Amino acid sequence: MLKEFRDFIARGNVIDLAVGIIIGAAFTAIVSSLVEDLVNPLLGLIIGGVDFSGLSFGLGEAQFMYGNFINAVIAFMLTAWVVFLLVRAVNRIRSIGRKPEPATEPEAPKGPTTEELLVEIRDVLKARQP
């Protein structure tokens, strides 16, 4: 069992996955800080510091804090937008200095093969025979 475990851990996929998770966690901290410390205050200046966290309604003894949900959706959208912009910037930086890929023309539709033509001719000749 230990040998199987060692082989499992030594596989490239597991190590790549672990590295991806670690880098993802670090990247999450950067994006979260960017959104919370830079984008949210700027957005607060623009929209007047609107906070939905106080919105709720009660039903019996249960209290539904739908304002927190609205804030979470807004935070998600902002985070997704920032990630999109960062990925876009990185892709542009990576493409600097690369040769543009040559445009490939779509292939002209191919005609029937020789065998298909022979079969068609044979069928026409058979149809003409009495």
* pLDDT in the model for residue 12: 66
Answer whether 72's CB lies under 8 Å from 52's CB.
no
- Distance, in Å, from the CA atom of 24 to the CA atom of 17, rounded to the nearest integer, reads 10
* pLDDT above 70 as % of the chain: 97
C-alpha span between 8 and 1 (Å, rounded): 10
Q: Is the pTM of this model over 0.85?
A: no
Interacting residues of 3 by C-beta distance below 8 A, sequence separation 6+: none
Domains of the chain: 2-98 (1.10.1200)
CB atoms within 10 A of CB 52: 16
One-letter amino acid for residue 50 of the chain? V
Query: Can you give the pLDDT at residue 90?
Result: 85
| Residue 4: both structure tokens together | 């199987």
pLDDT tens sequence across 6-64: 877 777 677 778 888 998 888 888 888 888 888 778 877 877 777 777 888 899 899 89
